[in-house]
Amino acid sequence: MMKRHISLTFVCMFFLVAAGRGFAQAACNFNIAGDWESTAPNHSETNLYRFTPEGIVTVFSSAGKGEGPQELGRAKYRLIDTQNSRTLEFKPAQGAFPWDAAKMEITHVDQASFITVSAGSSATWVKKDSSQYYVVLAAHRGTPPHQGGPAFAVLIKTSEGKPAVETFGLFYRNGEKINGPIPDDLYRRYLADSLPADDALLRLRISSQAFEGAMKIMHTWQERAQKGTLLFPAYSYLNIVVPLRDIAESLGQCGSDFHQYNLTWMVDDELGANVPQWELAFAYVKKLRELNAESHITSAKFQENVASRLTLPLPKN
């Protein structure tokens, strides 16, 4: 009877872990909302196109010295995104809209641009975004033999004013293990490079698309924690290991050069097959740091770009 119980436990674990992968796999859906620069066929100048989520695109002239961009015209647009193709359609609404073609095929998408083709002419659209996007993965090894963490992910968007920060992870309050958004004072303590050997940290700058994909995953786990519908029992450290893995794997979409570690819990998985569950978040983040050491942002650089703009200063080296 005991063997049957253990077998069912592992079957359920692998099923739920596989289900969690769906969020990482779908993280890089193309989102056209925002500002893009492009040159229309038979035009010499580059214009700025502002796409809204409501299906309106406004075109602006390139700004001259000492001048702001001037609105030229507007159009309704429709992005048809299927499994096999992407099509962009325009329907001019007012003013002078440079694109004569009402329909064009999107042939390529990456982190910061896309390419359209219509009537044999191609055009490249380049993302214009003054914001910067960061992800931080952090984990403390914990206390042997059974207490792991804290461990968490932090997503940061900087623009004008104070950076926007969202978190999800595992922490302790009065000895109780809690999954959900991380207290500010806790995550700030783990955003320095000068950490002891029992702490692991990876800090990266990412694209807006990678940020959006990671944020969808984080919001899903935040909601699960709030509603008490986490995928695993409350005692399970998989409730932090799987979110960290899903967020990390989403970063490898859209042509990113993020180096993955394939956490599968199968016999060829060095970490999942050998590291105790309570210690796995720490081992996983440590491994990702090793694989992405060249992309890791130093504490000084992070302090200059992000930390100095937060309400409370982060620790320094």
Contact of 115 with 122, CB cutoff 8 Å: yes
Q: Is a pLDDT exceeding 60 seen at residue 216?
A: yes
Q: What angle do CA 73, 79, 81 make, to 5 degrees?
A: 165
Lowest average pLDDT, out of 119-133, 140-154, 189-203, goes to 189-203
Question: Would the CA dihedral through 249, 253, 258, 260 be positive or negative?
Answer: positive
Sheet containing 199-206: order of strands: 176-180, 164-173, 151-158, 132-140, 199-206
Tokens of 71: 């609105």
Contact of 292 with 204, CB cutoff 8 Å: yes
d(CA 96, CA 189): 53
Q: Which fold has domain 34-128?
A: Lipocalin (2.40.128)
Average pLDDT over residues 231-238: 94
Q: What are the residue boundaries of the structural domains of the chain, listed by start? A: 34-128, 131-309
What is the model's pLDDT at position 228? 95
Query: Is pTM beyond 0.85 here?
Result: no
Q: Is a pLDDT exceeding 60 seen at residue 306?
A: yes
